[in-house]
A and B are shown apart, each in its own frame.
Chain A
């Protein structure tokens, strides 16, 4: 096959310009359900990706409509949480991509309702909680503690991630309850590794020291992952003495005087070390 001249790139989302809010909302829902064609980079790209890539090219009013359409669809779902897993995943990833932090309140309300949450598919529970985590939502400690006690085994690590936002101690306290599974242990290690990168060495050392105390209470696979992380992070930070600076006023004055001579300007007048403390003589008013 021979290369041909590139055709103009797709028309993007420009067809949304000038549409009513209802039309934008209807289109967005169909797009996220993969029912309308989208300009994807690769054929199996997720539907929210091209929307996030192209929405910046729209007029401000259409962008606002798109954001509000996303809000509307999320709120519709929160009111009646029954829908297709793939659609909900795409919708919530779009909300995160658009940084719709105000939806945190809605999603938190949904997630805090145990009766409703437990009736949802595992995929949708993951989507909701992942969105709250990736939107950096500041949710109450009690919420994550309650999830730690109620989420099914396979999802229990999500509560650990939420607790970690409140500090390592409440998170480490639930480690003993994590199921003894390789997949959970592997993910735990990744979460700890990435969390440690956000901390300064002293904080990491403190966290490591506390983590050691929880090792014995963990199940074998979890214990191994935690041990691995502990071993990779020093528990003690070497205290470094403050660097000593040797300073010679005489050498500085000599260098400045030599420089003044070299450039041929005003001669440099040596001053006493405490010169800056000596009150300057103010010129007298005429």
Chain B
């Protein structure tokens, strides 16, 4: 797919893209080497969408207004949600693992909330200490706040699509980072494990198969090699002593927490 898209570019654009990918291949940064591999291995984009993404990237490269890395990120932002929309039956429950400080900042940043990030983080910890089920007031705050920003990545359990994916992953930072392939995550990170429903008012619609367009410079993304699949797959990190299986993943647009389910878990 990559080759077909590359070949459909103008000669200048094709050269610019090939040269940049080769530079990443030969560079010292393993992260950008991996991004270059991901671009070549992506099979979830329609040919015209792949061409559009590479054209935008080449345009950035040729203009040289920003660094090639920033140019790639910029091009990706213009080409998000191009992966196929997931057809029914949808998994009813989706899950997200978010560092607690980040979720607190997202809640605090939500228009309906007037609590500082520190207060929001303390609230999340209080909920956890109380067993994970918020009081009605806490629940309303969480439901009216955003669940994520811009592009939201969500996981689900293919075998038990009506349950939280975190019901089948040990709720520890190590297990969560391993299963979801979160390679930048240190063991000291505290995650909030949130589960929300994919149906009902405020639910995400549609769910898309993720592509390099959403991943951009996130080098821990792995293109699902199955072109016909309706979702992506994480690549568990080594050494994976528990033998955790790859987790199906989708992306969707920003939503509020209307369909959040409780309890809310912390992974430490």
Chain A positions within 8 Å of B97 at CB level: 42
Q: Is the interface of A mostly helix, strand, loop or mixed?
A: helix
Question: Is there an interface contact between B184 and A191, defined as CB atoms closer than 8 Å?
Answer: no
Question: Is there an interface contact between B114 and A39, defined as CB atoms closer than 8 Å?
Answer: no
Is residue A13 within 8 Å, beta carbon to beta carbon, of the partner chain? Answer: no
Is residue B144 within 8 Å, beta carbon to beta carbon, of the partner chain? Answer: yes
Question: Is there an interface contact between B184 and A41, defined as CB atoms closer than 8 Å?
Answer: yes
Question: Is there an interface contact between A44 and B150, defined as CB atoms closer than 8 Å?
Answer: yes
Is residue B48 within 8 Å, beta carbon to beta carbon, of the partner chain? Answer: no
Chain B positions within 8 Å of A126 at CB level: 108-109, 114
> Quick one: which of B111, B117, B152, B182 contacts A134, CB cutoff 8 A?
B117
Question: Is there an interface contact between A187 and B115, defined as CB atoms closer than 8 Å?
Answer: yes
Q: Which of B8-16, B49-57, B210-218, B255-263 faces chain A?
A: B210-218
> Quick one: which of A7, A37, A44 contacts B152, CB cutoff 8 A?
A44
Q: B-facing mask of A26-47, CB < 8 A → 1, else 0? A: 0000100011111111111110
Evaluate whether A43 and B67 lie within 8 angstroms (CB atoms) in the complex, with A1-B224, A11-B29 already known.
Answer: no
Chain B positions within 8 Å of A7 at CB level: 30-31, 33-34, 183, 219
> Quick one: which of A4, A36, A93, A130 contacts B70, CB cutoff 8 A?
A36
Chain B 224-264 residues near chain A, CB threshold 8 A = 224-225, 233, 235-238, 240, 246
Chain A positions within 8 Å of B246 at CB level: 1
Task: Count residues on chain B whose CB falls below 8 Å from chain A CBs.
Answer: 68
Is residue A23 within 8 Å, beta carbon to beta carbon, of the partner chain? Answer: no
Question: Is there an interface contact between A36 and B69, defined as CB atoms closer than 8 Å?
Answer: yes
Q: B-facing mask of A1-24, CB < 8 A → 1, else 0? A: 101111111110000000000000
Question: Is there an interface contact between B216 and A37, defined as CB atoms closer than 8 Å?
Answer: yes
18 additional contacts, CB 8 Å, given A41-B185, A42-B153? A1-B246, A4-B238, A7-B30, A8-B30, A10-B31, A36-B70, A42-B97, A43-B215, A44-B149, A49-B99, A185-B137, A186-B137, A186-B141, A190-B115, A190-B119, A193-B126, A194-B119, A194-B122
Task: Name 28 interchain pairs, CB-CB below 8 A, sorted by A.
Answer: A1-B246, A3-B236, A4-B238, A7-B183, A9-B184, A10-B184, A11-B29, A11-B31, A35-B70, A35-B73, A36-B69, A36-B70, A36-B73, A37-B73, A42-B99, A43-B215, A43-B221, A49-B102, A50-B184, A93-B105, A123-B109, A126-B114, A134-B117, A182-B140, A186-B138, A189-B137, A190-B137, A191-B115
Binding site for B on A (CB under 8 A): 1, 3-11, 30, 34-46, 49-50, 53, 89, 93, 96, 122-123, 126, 130, 133-134, 154-155, 157-158, 161, 182-187, 189-191, 193-194, 225, 228
